[in-house]
């Protein structure tokens, strides 16, 4: 009985050390942010230390000759009996661990977006409006009178206060959607769509196509995470361009174009026309953080 209990203690320690090493691997390869939002990393640093500590204690207890009788006769405190039950129980912990080490780290892509839908402003859609449904009804030109261009992202101010960001966007002739305020900026554009029509907008994202899209329609999209990729949502903005539509899905691009308005299911939503773009590598952190407005 003593050797059996020590064996199970040892196995549990090995599993804990295994999960600690998996976290350490993600940290050292800088891939942790592909699975967990940066604001949650502190908890994982703490978990890493706890897993190493508890795993080491369990391994020492399982391999040392010293044994303390800690059983109270309760059935719940007994080690699993037989062979099948322990194998099934430990497999639930070992299989995710093995797959975590063996399978390559992969970003979320358009196949996930197709299942979850894409949010544009305050709307959620999987099919887009077609050209014949509605646009602003006029040829849209940039308010500054020139053509769209790709500018350095840092030229647009970073504003954490949502109300102040509204004022900044209202005053600017060109809107650059920065990763740090991605959802906030798109939300403001959606709220102030009438005053945003004709302005230039620039953003970075991956190409998403839906079966219901017209041949010249794509969505420039980004995944947002609150805690981890399990709760990821997809935000983006519709663009109409033959050149963009010719790109492969999930291609990362930096796009700049003129804002116009389209209607879908009775809701007005922004659309980019006459875009210019270039292919880019996925950013170091491909996901943006979810944004919530505090209601007092």
pLDDT along the chain (296 residues), means of 10: 78 94 89 82 92 93 67 57 83 91 77 73 52 46 65 88 90 91 89 90 91 83 84 86 91 93 77 92 85 52
The count of structural domains within the chain is 2
Residue 135 lies in a domain: yes
pLDDT at 125: 54
Which is it for the CA torsion 164, 166, 168, 171, positive or negative?
A: negative
pLDDT at 35: 84
C-beta separation of 108 from 229 below 8 A: yes
pLDDT at 280: 93
pLDDT at 72: 55
- By residue count, the chain amounts to 296
Q: Mark whether 165 and 277 lie in a shared domain.
A: yes
Q: Mark whether 273 and 169 lie in a shared domain.
A: yes
Q: Mark whether 209 and 191 lie in a shared domain.
A: yes
Measure the CA–CA gap between 221 and 181, rounded to whole angstroms. 14
pLDDT at 30: 78
pLDDT at 110: 74
- The two three-digit tokens of residue 207, written as one number: 């190409």
What is the secondary structure of 164-210 as a DSSP string? HHHHHHHH-SEEE--GGGHHHHHHHHHHTHHHHTT-EEEEEEEEE--
Closest CA to 26 of 38, 12, 14, 15: 38
50's CB contacts (< 8 A; 6+ apart) are none
Phi, psi of 104 (to 5 degrees): -70, 150
Residue 295 lies in a domain: no
Residue 283 burial (CB count, 10 A): 13
pLDDT at 159: 86
- The two three-digit tokens of residue 221, written as one number: 């999209």
Q: Mark whether 87 and 134 lie in a shared domain.
A: no
Residue 296 lies in a domain: no
Q: Mark whether 285 and 138 lie in a shared domain.
A: yes
Q: Mark whether 98 and 115 lie in a shared domain.
A: no
- The two three-digit tokens of residue 9, written as one number: 């203690």
- The two three-digit tokens of residue 222, written as one number: 């980004």
Q: Mark whether 148 and 228 lie in a shared domain.
A: yes
Residue 294 lies in a domain: no
Q: Mark whether 262 and 177 lie in a shared domain.
A: yes
pLDDT at 57: 92
Residue 280 lies in a domain: yes
Residue 6 lies in a domain: yes
pLDDT at 130: 47
Residue 82 lies in a domain: yes
Domain boundary among 102, 137, 160: 102
Domain boundary among 102, 130, 165: 102
State which residues form the domain around 192. 110-289
- The two three-digit tokens of residue 241, written as one number: 């361009």
Phi, psi of 241 (to 5 degrees): -165, 130
Q: Mark whether 22 and 146 lie in a shared domain.
A: no
Q: Mark whether 209 and 81 lie in a shared domain.
A: no
Closest CA to 175 of 194, 198, 191: 198
C-beta separation of 237 from 289 below 8 A: no
Closest CA to 167 of 154, 180, 157: 157
pLDDT at 63: 85
Residue 247 lies in a domain: yes
Measure the CA–CA gap between 115 and 129, rounded to whole angstroms. 19
Q: Mark whether 61 and 183 lie in a shared domain.
A: no
Q: Mark whether 175 and 271 lie in a shared domain.
A: yes
Domain boundary among 102, 128, 144: 102
Please state the pTM of the whole predicted model. Answer: 0.73
């Amino acid at each position: 009985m003593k050797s059996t209990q020590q064996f199970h203690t040892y196995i549990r320690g090995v599993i804990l050390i295994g999960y600690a090493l998996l976290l350490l691997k993600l940290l050292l390869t800088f891939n942790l942010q592909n699975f967990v939002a940066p604001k949650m990393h502190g908890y994982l640093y703490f978990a890493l230390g706890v897993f190493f500590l508890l795993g080491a204690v369990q391994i020492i207890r399982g391999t040392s000759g010293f044994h303390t009788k800690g059983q109270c006769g309760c059935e719940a405190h007994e080690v699993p009996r037989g062979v099948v039950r322990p194998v099934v129980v430990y497999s639930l912990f070992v299989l995710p661990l093995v797959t975590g080490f063996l399978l390559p780290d992969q970003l979320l892509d358009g196949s996930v977006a197709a299942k979850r839908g894409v949010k544009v402003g305050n709307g959620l859609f999987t099919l887009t409006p077609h050209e014949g449904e509605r646009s602003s009804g006029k040829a849209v030109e940039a308010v500054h009178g020139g053509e769209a261009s790709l500018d350095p992202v840092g030229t647009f101010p970073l504003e954490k206060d949502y109300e102040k960001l509204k004022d900044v966007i209202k005053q600017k002739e060109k809107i650059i959607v920065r990763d740090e305020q991605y959802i906030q900026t798109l939300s403001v554009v959606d709220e102030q769509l009438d005053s945003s029509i004709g302005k230039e907008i620039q953003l970075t994202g991956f190409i998403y196509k839906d079966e219901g899209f017209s041949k010249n329609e794509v969505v420039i999209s980004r995944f947002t995470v609150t805690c981890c990729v399990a709760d990821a949502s997809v935000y983006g903005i519709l663009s109409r361009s033959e050149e963009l539509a010719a790109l492969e899905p999930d291609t990362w691009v930096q796009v700049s174009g003129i804002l116009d308005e389209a209607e879908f299911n009775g809701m007005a939503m922004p659309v980019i026309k006459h875009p210019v773009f270039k292919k880019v590598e996925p950013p170091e952190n491909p996901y943006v953080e979810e944004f919530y407005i505090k209601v007092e």
